[in-house]
Amino acid sequence: MLSSFVALALSMIYLNHSCNAKNLPSISHENNGLVANSWRLLQNSEYKKDDLFCLSTGCVKTAASLINNLDQSVDPCDDFYQFACGNFIKNTVLNDGEMSRSIMSVINDVTINQRRMIVNEPIQPDELRPFKMMKLLFKSCMDLEKIEKIGLRPMKEMLKSLGGWPLLEAENWNESNFNWMDSLNGFKEIGRNMDFLIKLKITPDLKNHTKAAINLEQASFELSHQYLVKGTNYLVVDEYYKYMVDIAVLFGADRQRATEELKESLEFEVELAKISMPLEETNDLFKMYNPMNITDLQQKFPSIPWQEFLNKLLKQFIRQDDIIIVSSPKYFSGLGALLSKTPKRVQANYMMWRSVNDAVKYLTKELRQTKSTYKKRIFSIKEVPRWKECADISFELFKIAIGSMYVRRFSNENTKNNALEMVKVIKKELYKMLLSNEWMDDETRKNAMDKAKLILENDIAYPNELLDDGKLNSYYENLEVNDQDFYTSVLNLTKFSTDYEFSKLRKPVNKSDWVRNSGLVAEPNAFYIPEENSILFTAALLKGLSFSNDLPRYMIYSSIGSIIGHEITHGFDNSGRKFDLHGNLANWWAEETNKRFLEKEQCFIRQYGNYTINEGLKVNGTLTLGENIADRGGLKLAYNAYREWVKEHGVEPRLPGLQEYTPLQMFWLSNAHLSCSKDSMTYINVIRKYDGHSPSRFRVIGSFSNIKDFSDDFKCPLGSKMNPANKCQLW
């Protein structure tokens, strides 16, 4: 036992050094005192039994990390996030340009380094062709000398082939050669992004997932919609404009001409943003679902020749029975009118600018640094090392190949099987919760139970096909990548991906298609996919959180279990509940039960909307509603599942140095620990506007204070901040 506590002290010292290297908290004198106190307590007879403590390597390291981050000067019933994470926040120093660092970002850093290892390894003569191409792409991205030597010639030739960039052609540009539809098709054919005016996708029909549908969505923007709608004089938009001009000049444009003509292009982009739906409105899925056939489309938006447009881009004749889903009728009504009044030169300058901007990260050092300076000035985003940029590009374009290698190298079947077992356990708790739910009518409850039982688990860790050499080779057989021209390889990969997506039109939708979600396995994340009624947990997430047998189950249920519960709950949040058991968009709620749901969700909106981040800045309770519901539901499901485990297996040993906390208290502490995060105000502002998740502090405070079990376990008085009299609850 003495050697175990020596190991604890040594591991804490080791953690101190390693964490400092990553700007994580160092160990305080108070925490060293906790180790000494733990030893004194062990001398007391009540702590002498070995089975009262978990002294495995995993427990010792975990205890050290938890102790290191605790702020025990804070009452857990007053602010549990500060209690669990106070020293993490206090001792973490953000690097220049770093906006956030968290416990989960450390896991992400490990995954990034694992992906780097994969793409940076020497090519072996006998390895699979997809793996060779993946490594060739990374190699060519790292060959800065060759990129500089090739320069902008390929990009300029591409622009000329599409009718030319008016800024560069000056008076020689001929507007009779320009047509926005031809340009979009040209972008697609050579492998460039084409979402500048219309986003075209092939996805399963939301109301009938056996069929693929054509989706027409509003344009994507380089700058956020909420900035653009404020107009060209708004500070951020003006900085974007200056950046546009700087890039054009580096391409050879006359600065005066670029200044004048790109101002008109920016005004055009602002007008596009003004006819677009803001982010908050895109959450109304029924409003976004507007099915039409080609005749309907032409009648509703007559200024755009839709048959010609879709025939060209999809390379198929669009038939009357083809389903076309229009997400924003307002946008397409406005687009036709805007195009008709906008000179072709302005349209061309805008589209060529967007294509150039998308390509900057693949081109010369001067262009990349210009973009990096702009991002740092406006968004405090620092320039990343070249290896990371190339590793990220390789992952973005070769996700399935990298995912396959990741699974072969870092994952194992036991972890996958353990996760599948836990999913079954958590789902049992969901069934109990639905059956005991008093605010649902019997018919809606039956529908909910049917949906819960059909939640698919095909994508836990990884699809087995990623280990099939034949399937991997077949998927990539039409792709060519070499290390001679980095940008050309990027174009080939983008075109390959678009062609694959567009080929799905009129083919039966296969929910068990292994390709569908294989690109996510090397990314530490988890998802609920409402259109499939399925949950997805990636191999990288399971690897990062660890399913180790030398950890107490309260650690595993509080981490992996709560994430599983979180994703399952998404099937019944404000968005997921709009899909039925088969993943089709449908209303399966009785009217009175639906009203009760809406009343209960208002509680969450008010609760989180009243949380103050800083200087009067509030959490967006509407934007974060789905995640807040899932946070509470996921925790409750995991907690209940762990209580059932204890009934069968008995109470577990405590952690050394944390022996004053019961296993049930440790469930809450270890869950909060995963949310510890040091965030800059820039980062907080960004996630507040665009992220569906609440800031970490309020994810913990909000969800914990809504669960009576938490306040019972910590004996929080009714009316304390973490045990309010009125609690928000759905599931």
The residues annotated as belonging to the active site are 567, 631
Q: Cβ atoms within 10 A of the Cβ of 395, count?
A: 24
Q: Cα separation of 567 and 530, whole Å?
A: 10
Q: Cα separation of 179 and 162, whole Å?
A: 10
The first and second tokens of residue 616, run together, are 């009067």
Give Cβ neighbours of residue 634 (< 8 Å, ≥ 6 apart). Answer: 562, 563, 564, 565, 566, 567, 568, 569
Contacts of the segment 648-651: beta carbons below 8 A, 24+ positions apart = 649/553
Residues facing 534 on adjacent strands: 456, 529
Chain center to CA of 8: 35
| DSSP-assigned letters across all residues of 8-72 | HHHHHHHHHHHHHHTTPPPPPHHHHHHHHHHHHHHHSGGG--GGGB--SHHHHHHHHHHHHH--T
Quote the DSSP letter at residue 195.
T
Q: Nearest CA to 155 among 394, 396, 391, 352?
A: 352
CB 597 within 8 A of CB 665: no
Give Cβ neighbours of residue 469 (< 8 Å, ≥ 6 apart). Answer: 128
Say if strands 526-529 and 534-538 run parallel, antiparallel, or are unpaired.
antiparallel
Q: Nearest CA to 561 among 430, 729, 654?
A: 430
Give Cβ neighbours of residue 618 (< 8 Å, ≥ 6 apart). Answer: 609, 610, 611, 612
Give Cβ neighbours of residue 18 (< 8 Å, ≥ 6 apart). Answer: 24
Q: Cα separation of 288 and 328, whole Å?
A: 6
Contacts of the segment 644-651: beta carbons below 8 A, 24+ positions apart = 644/425, 644/428, 644/429, 645/425, 645/553, 645/557, 649/553
Q: Nearest CA to 418 among 517, 319, 547, 229?
A: 547
Q: Cα separation of 617 and 637, whole Å?
A: 32
Q: Give, in order, the Cα–Cα distances in Å from 34 to each of 38, 80, 103, 294, 699.
A: 6, 20, 22, 71, 28
Q: Cβ atoms within 10 A of the Cβ of 674, count?
A: 21
Q: Nearest CA to 215 among 497, 502, 582, 496?
A: 502
Q: Cα separation of 376 and 707, whole Å?
A: 41
Residues facing 102 on adjacent strands: 677
Say if strands 324-326 and 208-218 run parallel, antiparallel, or are unpaired.
parallel
Share in percent of the chain as helix, strand, coil (round to 5): 60, 5, 30
The first and second tokens of residue 236, run together, are 């951020």
Q: Cα separation of 729 and 731, whole Å?
A: 6
| DSSP-assigned letters across all residues of 385-441 | PHHHHHHHHHHHHSHHHHHHHHHHHH--HHHHHHHHHHHHHHHHHHHHHHHT-TTS-
